[in-house]
């Protein structure tokens, strides 16, 4: 440890400081809303980029369903829906309903059985997918743009006529139980699931998408149908279309295949029926707590620790925290000395990865930044041998402290470039574009164009990272989850005391 700390002092001997300018973006015009990036004076590489992104177009159907369209000249179109029907919205008797919906939503309707649905997809070369999350549920389909009307026909049948039958529930029950067995063999997924559960214990966010085994065995088709009927309402659903289909075409297809009730029969916003089905606001309360499951039969110890962040509630802080996450980075033993930029060894820019390679500290570590609407978790997961827990934890926490005090402009610029590359990559896939728009609209309440995000990332400098780290990381109480041979992991009081320095 003496050699590590001496090496750290050498790396921290030089500090670069610069001014951070904060800008606000966003405007809306008329019935169709869009946001455009402002031009800035100064050096910004994003201003010279030609980003193939059109403004989003919005409209609302006569049944209360909202439509969002991101048109782009493309031969492929993705049409999806997002609903506030995640695991946090499940009642006690409905635990696991959203997960079963992920498996069963495309299984059968009153007009089509599973074989007919598969044949309809094969005729147009389409793909369907669904995903259950903590706070929302998404399902989508991707087809050639010329067959968009056939996709709406199929999705309209699934929404209006979808049914849940006992035989299909019994089949998927075994599939989900098998998935749970696979999760039990993945230490990372175990501790990350535990981390969310203990950090928000006794709140809605503590409900995992994967419930207890007994809940999966007891869930019935009637309970799943009740969960579906409670949330899959027109006024709670939003259509998101990305790719080569215009808003006029989407509106026309939705009116023809999804709306099955007259305008007079659609529930009004003030009706009792609508108010009964509107989900309650996100309920959360962060708890700084330590949870350890010691199992000496495991080869590696898996540890995850995180502090609370504001999530999408403070979007400018969220951008800076994302950059800070990329500064810490990730690494695993499969990365060779001359591997990719996410590889390892002496050629890796991240300090933690450099230590992990040269001192054989850990097998893998991953920095993460999980954000919901009004809260989030920022931290790091790592897996190492039982006798190296203390050293690995010290290196990670020391890197967090360095974010607060001596991070350099070069490191920040590298992380900013990685963030900008990820944002630009979302434009290449209609499915990635759908996820980006749906998550932003649901959790943030608005959508920022890619060009706006790039400009915001360009404005993040080293002093902004130091300020944001001092605000959310320095001297904060973390939540800790550990699994495996964790007897050598320092106790919580020592972990908490390492979150600050008396001399700082």
Per the DSSP assignment, residues forming a β-bridge with 143 are 77
Predicted local distance difference test score (pLDDT) of residue 275: 40
CA–CA gap between residue 159 and residue 257 (Å, rounded):
10
CA–CA gap between residue 378 and residue 350 (Å, rounded):
17
CA–CA gap between residue 45 and residue 98 (Å, rounded):
43
Taking alpha carbons only, the member of 465, 331, 467 closest to residue 407 is: 465
What lies within 8 Å, CB to CB, of 500 at 6+ separation is 474, 475
CA 284 to chain centre: 17
- The pTM (predicted TM-score) of the whole model is 0.85
Predicted local distance difference test score (pLDDT) of residue 504: 53
Per the DSSP assignment, residues forming a β-bridge with 381 are 304, 366
Predicted local distance difference test score (pLDDT) of residue 289: 93
286-497 carries CATH number 3.30.830.10:
yes
Taking alpha carbons only, the member of 97, 100, 217 closest to residue 168 is: 100
Indicate if 286-497 has the same CATH topology as 57-271.
Answer: yes
Helices (H), 93-220: 97-104, 114-124, 148-161, 166-184, 187-199, 213-218
Residue 429, φ and ψ in degrees, nearest 5: -125, 135
CA–CA gap between residue 128 and residue 107 (Å, rounded):
11
DSSP state of 441: I
Strand order in the sheet with 479-484: 290-294, 479-484, 301-309, 376-384, 364-371, 330-332
pLDDT in tens, the chain (504 residues): 434 443 343 334 333 333 322 323 333 333 433 333 333 333 455 656 677 788 899 999 988 899 999 999 999 999 999 999 999 999 999 999 999 999 999 999 999 999 999 999 999 999 999 999 999 999 999 999 999 999 999 999 999 999 999 999 999 999 999 999 999 999 999 999 999 999 999 999 999 999 999 999 999 999 999 999 999 999 999 999 999 999 999 999 999 999 854 444 344 444 434 344 444 555 688 999 999 999 999 999 999 999 999 999 899 999 999 999 999 999 988 875 544 444 455 667 788 998 888 888 999 999 999 999 989 999 999 999 999 999 999 999 999 999 999 999 999 999 999 999 999 999 999 999 999 999 999 999 999 999 999 999 999 999 999 999 999 999 999 999 999 999 999 999 999 999 998 655
Go through the chain and tell me how many residues it has. 504
CA–CA gap between residue 351 and residue 357 (Å, rounded):
10
Predicted local distance difference test score (pLDDT) of residue 257: 93
Predicted local distance difference test score (pLDDT) of residue 50: 72
Predicted local distance difference test score (pLDDT) of residue 41: 37
Q: Give the Cβ contact number of residue 225 at 10 Å.
A: 18
Predicted local distance difference test score (pLDDT) of residue 46: 60
List the CATH code of the domain at 57-271. Answer: 3.30.830.10
Taking alpha carbons only, the member of 423, 484, 471, 422 closest to residue 190 is: 484
CA–CA gap between residue 338 and residue 343 (Å, rounded):
7
Predicted local distance difference test score (pLDDT) of residue 20: 29
What tokens appear for 15 in the block?
A: 């500090």
CA distances from 31 to 28, 56, 59, 267 (A): 9, 12, 7, 22
What tokens appear for 269 in the block?
A: 């916003």
CA distances from 210 to 186, 213, 343, 452 (A): 14, 9, 32, 36
Domain locations along the chain: 57-271, 286-497
């Amino acid at each position: 440890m003496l050699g590590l700390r001496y090496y750290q002092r050498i790396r921290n001997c030089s500090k670069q400081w610069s001014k951070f300018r904060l800008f606000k973006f966003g405007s809306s015009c008329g019935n169709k809303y869009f946001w455009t990036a402002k031009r800035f004076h100064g050096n910004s590489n994003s201003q010279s980029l030609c980003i193939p992104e059109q403004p989003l177009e919005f409209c609302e159907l006569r049944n209360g369903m909202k439509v969002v369209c991101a048109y782009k000249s493309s031969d492929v179109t993705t049409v999806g829906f997002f609903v506030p029907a995640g695991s946090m919205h499940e009642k006690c008797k409905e635990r696991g309903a959203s997960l079963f919906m992920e498996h069963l939503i495309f299984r059968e309707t009153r007009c089509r059985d599973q074989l007919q649905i598969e044949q309809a997809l094969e005729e147009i070369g389409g793909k369907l997918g669904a995903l259950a999350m903590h706070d929302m549920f998404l399902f989508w389909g991707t087809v050639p743009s010329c067959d968009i009307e056939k996709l709406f026909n199929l999705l309209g049948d699934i929404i209006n006529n979808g049914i849940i039958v006992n035989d299909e529930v019994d089949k998927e029950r075994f599939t989900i139980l098998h998935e749970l067995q696979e999760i039990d063999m993945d230490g990372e997924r175990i501790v990350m699931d535990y981390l969310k559960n203990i950090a928000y214990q006794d709140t809605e966010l503590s409900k995992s998408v994967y419930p207890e085994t007994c809940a999966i065995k007891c869930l019935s088709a009637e309970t799943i149908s009740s969960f579906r009927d409670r949330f899959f309402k027109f006024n709670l659903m939003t259509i998101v279309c990305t790719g080569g289909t215009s808003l006029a075409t989407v509106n026309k297809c939705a009116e023809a295949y999804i709306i099955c009730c007259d305008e007079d029969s659609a529930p009004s916003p003030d009706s009792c029926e609508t108010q009964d089905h509107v989900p309650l606001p996100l309920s959360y309360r962060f708890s700084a707590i330590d949870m350890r499951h010691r199992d000496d039969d495991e080869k590696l110890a898996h540890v995850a620790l995180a502090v609370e962040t504001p999530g999408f509630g403070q979007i400018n802080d969220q951008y800076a925290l994302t950059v800070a996450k990329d500064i810490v980075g990730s690494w695993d033993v499969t990365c060779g000395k001359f591997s990719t930029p996410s590889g390892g060894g002496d050629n890796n820019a991240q300090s933690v990865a450099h230590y992990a390679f040269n001192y054989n500290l850990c097998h893998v570590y991953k920095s993460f930044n999980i954000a919901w609407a009004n809260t989030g978790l920022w931290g790091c997961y790592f897996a190492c041998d039982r006798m190296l827990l203390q050293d690995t934890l010290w290196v990670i926490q020391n890197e967090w402290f360095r974010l607060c005090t001596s991070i350099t402009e070069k490191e920040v610029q590298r992380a900013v470039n990685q963030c900008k590359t990820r944002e630009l990559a979302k434009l290449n896939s209609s499915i990635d574009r759908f996820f980006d728009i749906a998550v932003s609209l649901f959790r943030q309440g608005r959508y920022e164009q890619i060009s706006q995000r790039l400009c915001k990332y360009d404005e993040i400098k080293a002093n902004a990272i130091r300020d944001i780290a001092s605000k959310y990381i320095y001297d904060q109480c973390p939540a800790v989850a550990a699994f495996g041979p964790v007897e050598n992991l320092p106790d919580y009081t020592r972990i908490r005391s390492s979150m600050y320095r008396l001399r700082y």
